[in-house]
Amino acid sequence: MPTISRFYGIIVFMNYNDHDPPHFHARYQDAEVLVEVRTAATRGAMPRRAMQMIMDWREQHQTELLENWELARQHLPLRSIAPLD
């Protein structure tokens, strides 16, 4: 599971050969969520403040996330994405 970004203790990663729709995973402390790139639908639980930061970051980097999704599908190295501003 390649890490693509880190900010405020949150680790964001994508898995190779993962299922559709395009999504990423985020961990903060003992919590983990799966977030769909296009719709922002989530699975899992996360503290409210951390979740808001993840959603803000997703909105800022949606294009880069979709590009990384395509790279992962092709088993190519993923690109790092800037942390939350």
Instruction: Express each pLDDT in 18-31 by its tens digit.
Output: 899 999 999 999 99
Domain range for residue 27?
3-73
Evaluate whether 24 touches 18 at the Cβ level (below 8 Å). Answer: no
Note the pLDDT tens digit of each residue in 18-69. 899 999 999 999 999 999 999 999 999 999 999 999 999 999 999 999 999 9
Determine, yes or no, domain membership for 85.
no
Which stretches within the chain are classed as H helix? 48-60, 62-73
For the chain, give the longest Cα–Cα distance.
34
Q: How many domains does the chain have?
A: 1
Bridge partners of residue 12, in order along the sequence: 5, 26
Flag whether 79 is in a domain. Answer: no
Asked if the structure places residue 78 within a domain, the reply is no
DSSP one-letter code for 59: H
